[in-house]
């Protein structure tokens, strides 16, 4: 009888705890909605330079991507069509500034997936709740959700793909492959992450080739269509000119750093400086045949790829540090939050990322599941890709924030058990 009463009490406590957790998450979701509502009244929060490029392209999808449009051809070849097509579709139902509320939907789905992933790894409802809580109070994701940018939708799509990375069920494989295909229409480094996922599926989970091919089907079709469409328009095949543009920037920034180790130099901090200078040097303008510019840009990016290697390492190291530990100061400055709360928000942002990132750097000490190892490898692989961009940008961290949270939460107990070791190190 006593055992039954104890069991009933445990169950009631568990149900109460779950109800409390749910109420906390609902409160944070509602607070997020209010934050986005106030943000929607400020153009300085909603729009960035990139936002205006996406909006411009979305206003005429046919001319932007499916014809050889001469004016602004750099934007047409630099940006992929996925997000402009999305903006064009959503704009049929609402005004452009309210499109940020789609980010709210993407974030809620991502929050749910984080809960599911942590439960999948640890079978612990409290840790799953903690992961969802940390996501909802993540300042980097929050400020991104107020902008017309690709980060939040990309974060959700890649999270779906990696949630099902170990699945051997055909329906889940096809669904995750389709979501990743959509991601590859938005982010130009999708082709590299596709290779990463394929390698992980094969060599870590031992998934059969047939199922890997099933996952890769939609991404390869979508990526192939981009190559084909670009060839039709410009008589030269490419995925996106962004890779050529960024390598050109890296080459010039590295040379500049070798001459003067100053990261505030305009050649290092301004991505378009060398590109515009290069266009003037070669007399490229809107009358230039696009194929000529694209192939010349490709050639220029390759010329000095292996020059100034030591300075390239310095640039990538600095970018990695900024990508991991930078906060969005300028974005917060453009928000409706006023001093002293503005300064407190910045301090909170920095403390948050310090705590979350700490576990990533000590996780090597602990035993981990295959999924945890995959997420750590993905974070490192992603950082390597985006840190090729000189100077660094904290916004790029949005895509890996869910995995940093997952790694943090799933290793909390290990950190607690090893607290004496870390305190001694400190």
Write the pLDDT tens digit of every residue in 226-273: 999 999 988 899 999 999 999 999 999 999 999 988 888 888 888 888
Q: Which residues does 218 contact at the CB level (< 8 Å), separation at least 6?
A: 174, 177, 178, 180, 181
Lowest mean pLDDT among 154-163, 190-199, 354-363: 354-363
**Radius of gyration of the chain measured on its C-alpha atoms:** 23
CA-wise closest residue to 160 among 144, 177, 145: 177
Q: Which residue has the tokens 């590859």?
A: 184
Going by pLDDT thresholds of 50, 70 and 90, the confidence category of residue 420 is low
> pLDDT exceeding 90 applies to what percent of the chain?
69
pLDDT at 155 (0 to 100): 97
Backbone φ and ψ for 91, nearest 5 degrees, come out as -65, -15
pLDDT at 244 (0 to 100): 93
Write the pLDDT tens digit of every residue in 310-333: 999 999 999 999 999 999 999 999
Q: Is the pLDDT of residue 17 over 60?
A: no
pLDDT at 12 (0 to 100): 41
Helices (H), strands (E): how many in the chain? 24, 0
Q: Is the pLDDT of residue 73 over 60?
A: no
Element (H, E) at 247: helix 242-259
Going by pLDDT thresholds of 50, 70 and 90, the confidence category of residue 421 is low
Write the pLDDT tens digit of every residue in 20-54: 888 999 999 999 999 999 999 999 999 988 999 99
- Give the pLDDT mean for 64-68: 80
Count of alpha carbons within 13 Å of 295, Cβ hemisphere only?
Answer: 10
Going by pLDDT thresholds of 50, 70 and 90, the confidence category of residue 13 is very low
Backbone φ and ψ for 191, nearest 5 degrees, come out as -65, -35
- Give the pLDDT mean for 98-120: 96
Q: Is the C-alpha dihedral spanning 24, 30, 33, 35 positive or negative? A: negative
pLDDT at 392 (0 to 100): 81
Backbone φ and ψ for 150, nearest 5 degrees, come out as -90, -10
**DSSP letters along 168-212, please?**
--HHHHHHHHHHHHHHHTT-TTHHHHHHHHHHHHHHTS---HHHH
- Give the pLDDT mean for 345-357: 94
Q: Report whether 290 contacts 70 (CB < 8 A).
A: yes
pLDDT at 293 (0 to 100): 87
pLDDT at 413 (0 to 100): 83
Q: What mean pLDDT is reported for the chain?
A: 89
pLDDT at 71 (0 to 100): 58
- Give the pLDDT mean for 301-316: 91
pLDDT at 72 (0 to 100): 58
Long-range pairs, 320-323, Cβ under 8 A, ≥24: 320/383, 320/387, 320/392, 321/392, 322/391, 322/392, 322/393, 322/394, 323/383, 323/386, 323/387, 323/392, 323/393, 323/394, 323/396, 323/397
Going by pLDDT thresholds of 50, 70 and 90, the confidence category of residue 178 is very high
- Give the pLDDT mean for 400-426: 80
Write the pLDDT tens digit of every residue in 132-155: 999 999 999 999 999 999 999 999
Which range, 265-269, 305-309, 347-351, is most confident? 347-351
Boundaries of every domain in the chain: 18-425
- Cα gap 121→408, rounded to integer Å: 13
């Amino acid at each position: 009888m006593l055992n039954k009463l104890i069991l009933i009490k445990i169950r009631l406590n568990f149900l109460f705890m779950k109800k409390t957790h749910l109420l906390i998450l609902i409160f944070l979701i509602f607070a997020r909605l209010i934050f986005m509502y106030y943000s929607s009244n400020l153009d300085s929060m909603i729009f960035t330079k990139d936002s205006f490029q996406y909006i411009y392209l979305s206003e005429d999808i046919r001319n932007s991507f499916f014809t050889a449009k001469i004016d602004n051809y750099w934007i047409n070849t630099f940006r992929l069509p996925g997000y402009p097509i999305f903006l064009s579709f959503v704009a049929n139902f609402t005004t452009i500034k309210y499109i940020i509320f789609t980010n709210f939907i993407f974030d809620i789905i991502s929050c749910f997936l984080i809960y599911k992933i942590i439960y999948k790894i640890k079978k612990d409802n409290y840790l799953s709740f903690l992961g969802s809580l940390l996501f909802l109070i993540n300042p980097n994701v929050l400020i991104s959700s107020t902008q017309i940018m690709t980060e939040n939708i990309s974060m959700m799509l890649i999270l779906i793909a990696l949630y099902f990375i170990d699945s051997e069920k055909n329906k889940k494989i096809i669904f995750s492959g389709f979501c990743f295909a959509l991601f590859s229409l938005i982010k130009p480094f999708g082709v590299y992450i596709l290779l990463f996922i394929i390698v992980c599926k094969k060599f870590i989970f031992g998934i059969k080739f047939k199922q890997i091919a099933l996952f890769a089907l939609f991404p390869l079709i979508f990526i192939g269509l981009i190559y084909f469409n670009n060839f039709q328009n410009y008589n030269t095949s490419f995925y996106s000119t962004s890779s050529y543009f960024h390598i050109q920037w890296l080459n010039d920034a590295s040379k500049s750093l070798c001459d003067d180790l100053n990261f505030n130099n305009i050649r290092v901090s301004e991505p378009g400086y060398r590109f515009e200078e290069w266009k003037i040097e070669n007399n490229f303008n809107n009358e230039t045949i696009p194929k000529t510019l694209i192939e010349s840009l490709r050639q220029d990016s390759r010329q000095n790829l292996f020059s100034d290697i030591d300075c390239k390492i310095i640039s990538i190291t600095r970018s990695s540090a900024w990508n991991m530990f930078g906060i969005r100061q300028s974005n917060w400055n453009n928000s409706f939050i006023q001093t002293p709360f503005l300064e407190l928000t910045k301090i909170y942002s920095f403390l948050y990322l310090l705590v979350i990132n700490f576990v990533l750097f000590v996780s090597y000490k602990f035993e981990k599941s295959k999924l945890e190892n995959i997420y750590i490898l993905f974070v490192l692989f992603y950082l390597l890709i985006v840190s090729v961009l000189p100077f660094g940008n904290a916004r790029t961290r949005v895509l890996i924030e869910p995995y940093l949270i997952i790694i943090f939460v799933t290793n909390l107990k290990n950190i607690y058990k090893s607290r004496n070791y870390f305190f001694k190190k400190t």
